[in-house]
A = this chain, B = another copy of it.
Amino acid sequence: MMCLVAALSFSFTQRADAQPLQLASPEHVLEVSFTLEDGVPKYSLSRLGQTLILPSKLGFKLAGAPDFDTNFELLGHQSSTFDETWEQVWGEKRFIRNHYNELRVQLQQRDALARRIDVVFRVYDDGFGFRYEFPEQPNLSEILIDDELTEFTLTGNHESWWIGAYQWNRFEYLTENTPLAAVDTVHTPLTMRTADDIYLSFHEAALTNYSSMTLERVADFTLKANLMPWADGIRVRTQAPAVTPWRTLQVADRPGDLITSYLILNLNEPNQIEDTSWIEPAKYVGIWWEMHLDKSTWEPGPRHGATTENAKRYIDFAAEHGFDHVLVEGWNPGWEGDWFADGVVFDFTRPYDVFDLEGVAAYALERGVRLMGHHETSASVEHYEAQMEEAFALYERLGVRAVKTGYVGHGQEIFWTDADGNRNYEWHHGQHMVEHHQTVVELAAQHQISLNVHEGVKDTGLRRTWPNLMTREVARGQEYNAWGENGGNPPNHVLMLPFTRNLAGPFDYTPGVVDLLFEEWRPDNRVPHTLAKELALYVVIYSPLQMAADLPQNYENAPLPLQFIKDVPADWYDTLVPDGSIGNFITVVRKDRNSDEWFLGSITNEQGRLLETPLSFLDEGRRYRAEIYRDATDAHWEHNPYALEYVEMEVSSTTILPLRLAAGGGMAVRFVPLDE
């Protein structure tokens, strides 16, 4: 199945030592150009002959060392082509083609230190990435990056979708939609639409031992890398030889093509875990939403959620309906009191008395279900690191295969204690935490445990290398609908996510709330969708660990939506995005990895729509039963959200399926081959 073609013939055109160095993508779609102007390295990018990125700076400012962005000469350059199709252990697509042309530019400064750096460009048809490589060299050993000077100079005031960086609540914000000129300093993925209706998304890949890159607008249409600093202001501490993460740009004609681009994964290293048999996409339920509804509590007391009895009730429900894991939050000491104020509180290896951890775990296994572990660190990383080896060993022994970690705490609340006993406060997305998360994922792998990381660092595709790093939150999820101010997430929030946050990777949004209004618990809040839209989220928002968030009793009262939640898989053979408009609507189609079934999810914002999708993805000549969960004619997210209709239709690859989405509505479809 693997197909590796490394050849020397490629589309590289350049006269020896001449400038610019130019390299096109395999199908001549994108072309990168590198120049040295008076010793200053710059790159630019064009697509089908039109400029996308104007000449933009490269380089660094290093602490205690001369400038490292000028006075360079070209030492050499090499180019190569690469074409491989690799298989994901799990994912939104099973086989991914990794086809690029690479240009390595070797630079050396024209002074006595003769310091060297390489810039490596990989040019794909659907985007490009570049990184810096610091070779081993006599005059550059310890590297303290004061500033990364990488710039991206755009050609116009593109419409942009973003969330701000340097905020107390990390990544948990609603998406802003403004012209580029209104962008300040923002997280990636940063998504744009040009006036010509071309879509761009800036991000990074393979962030393992560096600071997260945010993007700061430093001139009209120029963005510059702004690395999250350490407490002392240094942006990155490293040692040559070293490589940076890839700075990436995806380019697409239709917004949905950003979603089916696998550039970020392709720029990560191949899987490092030999035996992956224990890594399993799964659906889970758990003791979680009831706390957000304030029906029960994390902390001990009369409404303590994590009791043995309650856990067994969830296990029974999971066993009956085929869910794989049961998450239990609030099971371990530390929740009493103001647990996230200082936070050195949690015990990760001992349950509360009311929760018989060993007994519950055994009961789960007996019923064919597994516990999903939970490690809330309250952002006290030192405190967690001291216990985590033992904590993962405990879970492994109990048959737990997935752990949800949490890092609740303000943006810059992580601390480490130095030799003098002083606490140094770090950002959630600085190098300190990037390295912590890397430690955790490797440790978890040793214990055959997969991770579901909440309040962590943004995804940069590491799941390719460490497929036990399955999913994460790192965005504003479902729980804001339970208690968020101003009504929680507005109806268009989930229309932003697929084109922004989800471009980074899987998102544990926790869909599946069927008691949309929860008037008994929080009458002033609600889920701002129709029921059909909430179901469609299972197809639209990709996660290999996919929660059915609502309470068992609510599902028992809603057998129709529950049926779809039971039927929809969490692992896919392929993904298509036939249609979409950022913040407005999206239609996603996915094929089950373990059968010939297909699924479709289509959702809209406050505006109802009449769309249609040709079912050309179905096998030619085959008949399918379409099981359609759709908004009734009079459904409306605000006035009539429960108006869900179920209909069956016989369809084939030539059917054009009409999609009628109510205001704030959606449609979920399962396609079952009739010859099975």
Residue A559 at the chain B interface, CB threshold 8 Å: no
The digit string for A598-615, where 1 denotes a CB below 8 A from any CB of B, is 000000011111110011
Q: Is A23 an interface residue (CB 8 A)?
A: no
Q: Give a binary string over A101-140; 1 marks a CB under 8 Å from any B CB, 0 the rest.
A: 0000000000000000000000001000000000000000
Q: Are A196 and B606 in contact (CB under 8 A)?
A: yes
Q: Which residue of B lies closest to A252 (CB)?
A: B610
C-alpha spacing A532/B603, complex, angstroms: 37
Q: A579: which B residues are within 8 A, CB to CB? A: 254
User: Quick check: A50 and B585 within 8 Å, CB to CB?
Assistant: no
Shortest beta-carbon distance from A569 to chain B in Å: 23
Which of A313-321, A330-338, A498-506, A631-639 is near enough to bind chain B? A631-639
Interface of A is mostly: loop
Binds B, one of A218-226, A371-379, A471-479, A652-660: A652-660
- How many copies of this kind of chain does the complex include? 2
Task: Select which of B48, B605, B654 is within 8 A of A653 by beta carbon.
Answer: B654
A28 on the B face (CB < 8 A): yes
Cβ of A616 under 8 Å from chain B: yes
Beta-carbon nearest neighbor of A636 in chain B = B49
Residues of B within 8 A of A181 (CB): none
Closest Cβ of chain B: how far from A126's Cβ, in Å?
A: 9
B-contact bits for A636-658, CB 8 A (1 contact / 0 none): 10010000000000001110100
Quote the shortest CB–CB distance from A386 to chain B (angstroms).
51
CB-CB nearest in chain B for A28: B633
**Pairwise interchain contact A254-B620, C-beta atoms closer than 8 A:** no
Complex-state Cα separation, A125 to B608, whole angstroms: 13
Max chain B C-beta neighbours (<10 A), residue from A48, A125, A633, A653 = A48
A663 within 8 A of B: yes
A242 to chain B, nearest CB (A): 36
Judge whether A254 and B654 touch: CB under 8 Å. no
Contact present for A585 and B663 (CB under 8 Å): no
Question: CA of A28 to CA of B616 in the docked complex: distance in angstroms?
Answer: 29
Quote the shortest CB–CB distance from A150 to chain B (angstroms): 26
A29/B614 in contact, CB under 8 A: no
Say whether A581 contacts B197, CB under 8 Å: yes
A sample of 19 inter-chain contacts (CB < 8 A) reads A28-B634, A47-B608, A48-B609, A48-B636, A48-B663, A49-B608, A125-B610, A194-B607, A197-B581, A198-B609, A253-B610, A253-B611, A614-B616, A615-B616, A616-B653, A616-B654, A616-B656, A620-B654, A621-B621
